[in-house]
Amino acid sequence: MDLSRFPRKIYTHAPTPIEFMPHFTHALAATCPDGVGPKVWIKRDDMLGLFPGGNKTRKLEFLIADALAQGADTLITCGAPQSNHCRITLAAAVKEGMKCRFVIEERIAGTYKEDASGNNFMFHLMGVEEITVVPAGSNMGEAMNKVAQAVTQAGHKPYIIPGGGSNAIGGLGYVACVQEMQQQWMDMGVSFDAIVVGSGSSGTHGGMVAGFLGNHIQIPLIGIGVSRDPADQEPLVLKEAQAIMDLMGVPLQVPATAVTSFGGYWQPKYSLPNKGMIEAVQMLARTEAILLDPVYTGKIMAGLIGLARKGHFKPNAQVLFMHTGGLPSLHMYEDVVLGKTSVAH
């Protein structure tokens, strides 16, 4: 798949590492059937550029280049109160000398606090121009269009980036990631039996589906839902993957069988803690000194752990976990992840 015809800003100047996690693998095996589990590796996309890294950086390499090509000077995007995507979009705006505005959806009433730490602190530190807060269920596209109209009236040129950077242009970032990994696997001499990735706004999962199909990769790609169960999530991923293939001019209808996801690990609600997430965050921190976040990667790793304990992976299968970042929001949940506050199931 040739990405060279699409404009791109490079924010990460080397491939992110793929590392084996021996201590985590051993600890997980002790809780699996017959004391044997998968051998778990990790792709460190938490180390991407635009501090402090995360999967949105890959999407923004293409989105920002498109914005600049259109002459935009103000980025507008949306997310939840502790949005990693908003934070990294702002970082890109600062890098490019642009302004940036957010529409924040308060998905759980009372959770947005102007003086909160974590990503919200970084919004203000990096100089977000304006934050508009809307209630849960708001039409985010309409809300961003209103902000764009105000920017235009003020004599500037806006560029709207959808939540999570999840559209066909942003999805190219994870087609590029798949190609990067292919080269790494060849150089390392490692063959994987499964790849585990988070599935939320669908840009990362959908981009990887497109990349796997376009590069003829037969490895099972497993999505772990962070806000929806498969019946609602998989059509979104399928739509994203097809939009990317269409943008690239690949004459292929993405089959529904190309999208696999598991739910149940995100409840009781998006961004609300659960015991599986706490165990996953503590386990990886205490075995490998790698930090996960409570909203996304903690629940995704809880999914990998849960599948391993159910015998989903063959004994000693080589499984690669996609670490998509999110570190700043960890500081919003300190008492929770240390077990000082009780949570549901």
DSSP 285-324: HHHH-----TTTHHHHHHHHHHHHHTT-SPTT-EEEEEE-
- Side-chain half-sphere exposure of 217, counting CA atoms within 13 A: 25
Residue 116 has pLDDT above 90, yes or no: no
The residue extents of the domains of the chain are 18-54+167-337, 56-165
What's the mean pLDDT in 92-96? Answer: 98
State the Cα–Cα distance between residues 56 and 50, nearest whole angstrom.
Answer: 9
Active site amino acids: 83
What's the mean pLDDT in 238-242? Answer: 98
Model confidence at 109, pLDDT cuts 50, 70, 90, reads confident
What's the mean pLDDT in 187-201? Answer: 97
Tell me yes or no: is domain 56-165 CATH 3.40.120.10.
Answer: no
Where is 79: in which H helix or E strand? strand 74-79
Model confidence at 209, pLDDT cuts 50, 70, 90, reads very high
- Which has the closest alpha carbon to 233: 166, 294, 168, 279? 166
What is the pLDDT, as a whole number, of residue 344?
Answer: 65
Q: What is the pLDDT of residues 35-83, one digit of tens each?
A: 999 999 999 999 999 988 899 999 999 999 999 999 999 999 999 998 9
Are 75 and 100 in contact, with CB atoms under 8 Å apart?
Answer: yes
State the Cα–Cα distance between residues 66 and 224, nearest whole angstrom.
Answer: 30
**φ, ψ for residue 255, nearest 5 deg:** -75, 145
Percent of the chain whose pLDDT exceeds 90 = 90
Residue 309 has pLDDT above 80, yes or no: yes
Model confidence at 108, pLDDT cuts 50, 70, 90, reads confident
What is the pLDDT, as a whole number, of residue 329?
Answer: 86
What is the pLDDT, as a whole number, of residue 273?
Answer: 94
What's the mean pLDDT in 4-25? Answer: 97
Q: What number does CATH give the domain 18-54+167-337?
A: 3.40.50.1100
Is there a shared CATH topology between the 18-54+167-337 domain and the 56-165 domain? yes
What is the pLDDT, as a whole number, of residue 67?
Answer: 98
Instruction: Give me the chain's average pLDDT, please.
Output: 96
Q: How far is CA 66 from the centre of its chain?
A: 20
What's the mean pLDDT in 160-182? Answer: 97
What's the mean pLDDT in 233-238? Answer: 98
State the Cα–Cα distance between residues 332 and 84, nearest whole angstrom.
Answer: 13
Residue 345 has pLDDT above 70, yes or no: no
Q: What is the pLDDT of residues 131-158, one digit of tens each?
A: 999 999 999 999 999 999 999 999 999 9
- Burial tier of 114 (Cβ tally within 10 Å: 0-12, 13-18, 19+): exposed
What's the mean pLDDT in 197-207? Answer: 97
Residue 280 has pLDDT above 90, yes or no: yes
What is the pLDDT, as a whole number, of residue 332?
Answer: 85
